[in-house]
Amino acid sequence: MNQRIPQRAQWASRLGFILAASGSAIGLGNIWKFPYVVGQNGGSAFVLVYLAAIVLVGVPIMMAEFLLGREGQRDAIGTFSRLAGPRSPWCLVGWVGVTAAFILFSFYAVVAGWSFDYVFKSLGGRISGQSPAQIKAIFGTLLDSPGQMIIWQALFVMATAGIVSRGIRGGIERCSKILMPTLFALLFYLFIHGIRSDGASQALAFLFSSDFSLLTPKVILEAVGHAFFTLSLGAGVMITYGSYLDRRANLFSLAVKVSFLDTLVALMAGMAIFPVVFSAGLDPAAGPGLVFQTIPIVFAQAPFGQLLSVLFFLLLAFAALSSSISMLEVAVAWLVDEKQWSRIRSTWLLSLLAFLLGIPSALSFNVLKSTPFLGSPTFFDFCDKLISSYLLPLGGLAVAIYCGWFLKRTATQQQEAICCPSRWVYPCWHILIRYIAPLALTFVFIQQSGLING
């Protein structure tokens, strides 16, 4: 079995790994979804639970995924077949991950395509100076144009494939080293702009002053679910990325750094967006349209609005791209490691398939708008629900149970495997991964899948 995998790729540096893994974590979830779910769930109480969930559920599961990949030294499916045995039912967890990452890539590219479109719209000055009604109409027109959406989706898929086909060091790591610092710089600029605008204190209060009366069980579970989603867990990404780590990597320190950067970006995105929304007197609970409708309305009237809006949509596009490369990598690693396909062939074939699968998702906003699919209002909603509500929490739950209960290891071996010199990290991790994380994810799964309270 061993000689089938000659010289597996490794990250060139720890920094490269941290940027690539946080690139996966930081995505539309941070900049597009986080602000609007905070808005819809009433602000700070939600943020507090979200932060707790990052620490208690997110970090331990991320460590578990890194550990599995680093031990398995293969793609997500191969890792389970190596650790648990080729015929073990645990291999299904790897399959869940690869399937989830692939389907996610197919419809993520549709939304990411909108951000490409908006970069060009902003560059061409088509947004600044427009009235709110005109800006709403611009979004509506985009959604009503299947051809345009599919072209942007195709370009986004091709950009992703171009990076992944160049491999771990030369493609993913090298691009992350360019994309992520640029993303941080753009966000920092928009953050400063946000906190200097009139609505800053209102935004701070909205995000950080606690009103615990808003904490219903549904809000709590939504916050845990989002913490899990935003760290890209449950889809085999961190297993695959972890498999390119060397044996001495301190998995605790890496997981903390990646989660910290992800959280920082979400909070800074909130502080870049809400102050301007409040200054313009608009609704913070606008929902998914927040970044594509509310934000352009604000920028259209602001001084330097055109520049701000180009920067904002570039930020969104970069964040989406660094996430989508990790989704594609999960499936590519499977073909490369298990089927011995060449990376280039695997990448382009899977990209083509993901593009085709994404077309009905793009059409869900226009031609297929009123065509329900397997109990969901549209095909896009079906894919989103299948992944975010079922496959990801299920994958994460299985990883936690496997690592906590089945990975055959003595405690000292596990402690050594994590490579963290601190003595308290291992016992804490062990409790969290055995009891707390599985319990929390079971509740999230039950709630999100609507099995209990719809």
Chain positions contacting ligand TRP, by CB under 6 A:
24-25, 27-30, 101, 104, 229-230, 232, 235, 237, 323, 326-327, 392
Closest to ligand TRP by CB, 98 or 135:
98
The backbone torsions φ and ψ at residue 373, rounded to the nearest 5 degrees and listed phi first, read -130, 115
- Spatial separation of the C-alpha atoms in residues 165 and 131, rounded to whole Å: 43
Closest to ligand TRP by CB, 235 or 407:
235
Closest to ligand TRP by CB, 298 or 327:
327
Longest dimension (CA), the chain: 65
Closest to ligand TRP by CB, 107 or 274:
107
Is the CB of residue 365 less than 8 Å from the CB of residue 380?
A: yes
Angle between helix axes 44-53 and 217-230 (nearest 10 degrees) is 50
CA dihedral of residues 326, 329, 330, 336 (deg, nearest 10): -170
CA 34 to mean position of chain CA atoms:
11
To the nearest whole angstrom, how small is the minimum distance from the Cβ of residue 292 to ligand TRP?
Answer: 15
To the nearest whole angstrom, how small is the minimum distance from the Cβ of residue 230 to ligand TRP?
Answer: 4
Collapsing DSSP to helix, strand or coil, 284 comes out as coil
To the nearest whole angstrom, how small is the minimum distance from the Cβ of residue 239 to ligand TRP?
Answer: 11
AA letter at 210: S
To the nearest whole angstrom, how small is the minimum distance from the Cβ of residue 236 to ligand TRP?
Answer: 8
Closest to ligand TRP by CB, 357 or 428:
357
To the nearest whole angstrom, how small is the minimum distance from the Cβ of residue 130 to ligand TRP?
Answer: 28
The DSSP element (H or E) to which 115 belongs, if any, is helix 91-123
Closest to ligand TRP by CB, 235 or 308:
235
Closest to ligand TRP by CB, 104 or 383:
104
To the nearest whole angstrom, how small is the minimum distance from the Cβ of residue 410 to ligand TRP?
Answer: 32
- Spatial separation of the C-alpha atoms in residues 335 and 355, rounded to whole Å: 18
- Spatial separation of the C-alpha atoms in residues 437 and 233, rounded to whole Å: 12
The residue among 433, 394, 66, 392 whose CA lies nearest residue 226 is 392
Q: How many CB atoms lie within 10 A of CB 433?
A: 25
To the nearest whole angstrom, how small is the minimum distance from the Cβ of residue 58 to ligand TRP?
Answer: 11
